[in-house]
Chains A and B, each alone.
Chain A
């Protein structure tokens, strides 16, 4: 199997708090890997360690290695902006910028130095189509993105990431602010995106992990308890603690 991201012996501290404890995990290319576990187990922290969003938190310290294309993203020669173009992120609450739909989609390209003109039109259409949003917004690309309904805002945030053509997409509970119908649509979209992108998703919703992910990782108190093929994790967990969580006896 082809590995997109290899995490080895990763420890992470928020000041004195040991948030991730010696985590090892391989995220496979063009598969969906779900991180599950109770609140505060470190799954979001782990996800945000993969594009170094934790750098924004004062007092956050990391040891160990996260290899992307055989290079440690915590190494000295890494440009964090370049890293974040390769490893895109979709957040818990849809956070389109207070700009037009067009400017939202082109944001990542403009950041990379592309001029905002007609040469971006193809990318805009393709990204929105890939996020299943083109039909709804094609006639109002210059409207404010904040006027869209919440589920379309979230798909716009996905389109915004797709426009940069990342290798990996990180999703931090992307459906937790959405209703069940919108959730189903995003899940279906993720399965479609899996053909071309590696996806890592944090979710509170175990049914969601079971429905869409190829691999699941169960975390507890900052430790990686068990990692494996999703069907195995859910039907035949090896660790007692995983079983307790899956069957609802814990968490």
Chain B
């Protein structure tokens, strides 16, 4: 009880602290100049984070383009086409992926993926594309693990009903099972998005970290999280407050993703 309360309180205090430091700053600089300006020159008093918001969203979106299809396909395969004993080995192995430190993913990105992109497509290599690919793999455990649970909870009667009407296994999956589990799978993807947008270390290593509005997937970008992590050590005064304000923006984005996921899950249980 006391422990639970301590944990909750510390979470609450973190939130309060971030907001206390960040919100007055946003109020002072102005909503528009903070969120919608592209001018980030802390020494000159310009704190526009628009390119970083866009970079974070695009990298996250790109990660979902990679991670969602792979993750959902893997969950379907594990749940519908692999025998139960094999699943019992494969699934924990996938969940183990979540335990690999993100710096290791970043390392793989720097030494394998980025040079590959540079030689195949040109550009600096350390880019939005590279970050999306690495993050796409990093969110797989989240998406696979939740989607597998969702698919496992779809009543067997649906499978039998579909097969008894002459459906192939694959038809029963995409015409019935995925539709029955749709909201749960949406929730899995949204939680994966929350994980992707909050990821920092791997992104710093592979995204290139140039504050600019990207024109193509091969451009170097700087995300919100990367900005905070790189500058927090040396920032003082308004610059430091600006980084806290970025934290507020991230906090709200992730809260929004989680709220969306929750409502998707609730809808799923209301539908039954």
Q: Which residues of A contact B (CB under 8 A)?
A: 51, 53, 56, 58, 81-85, 88-89, 91, 93, 95-99, 107-108, 110-112, 144, 146, 157, 160-161, 164
Contact = CB atoms under 8 A, between A and B. Distances in A.
10 contacts: A84-B165, A91-B161, A91-B164, A96-B161, A97-B162, A97-B175, A98-B158, A98-B179, A111-B166, A146-B271
B16 to A, nearest CB: 43
* Majority secondary structure of chain B interface residues (helix, strand, loop or mixed): helix
Contact of B175 (A58, A89, A110, A164): A110
A111 B180 contact: no
A121 to B, nearest CB: 19
Nearest to B84: A58
Rank and list the top 7 A-B pairs by shortest CB-CB distance, nearest first: A95-B157, A85-B166, A89-B164, A108-B165, A84-B166, A95-B161, A111-B167
Contacts of A53: 160, 163-164
A6 to B, nearest CB: 21
Contacts of A108: 165-166
B262 interface: no
Interface residues of B, number: 21
Contacts of A81: 166-168
A107 B175 contact: yes
Given A58-B83, A99-B176, A99-B179, A107 B162 contact: yes
A88 B176 contact: no
Given A53-B160, A82-B166, A88-B164, 6 more contacts: A91-B157, A97-B176, A98-B158, A98-B179, A111-B175, A144-B271
Nearest to A112: B166
A84 B163 contact: yes
A98 B271 contact: yes
Nearest to B157: A95
A54 B135 CA distance: 43
Interface of B: 83, 155, 157-168, 171, 175-176, 179-180, 271-272
Contacts of B176: 97-99, 107
A97 B166 contact: no
B136 to A, nearest CB: 29
A98 B161 contact: no
A93 B179 contact: no
Contacts of B168: 81, 111
A156 B198 CA distance: 47
A93 B163 contact: no
Contacts of B160: 53, 56, 91, 95
B116 to A, nearest CB: 41
Contacts of A161: 165
A160 B179 CA distance: 18
B162 to A, nearest CB: 7
Contacts of B180: 97-98
B164 A51 contact: yes
Contact of A97 (B83, B163, B179, B271): B179
Contacts of B163: 53, 56, 84
A84 B163 CA distance: 8
A53 B171 CA distance: 16
Contacts of A51: 164
A82 B166 CA distance: 6
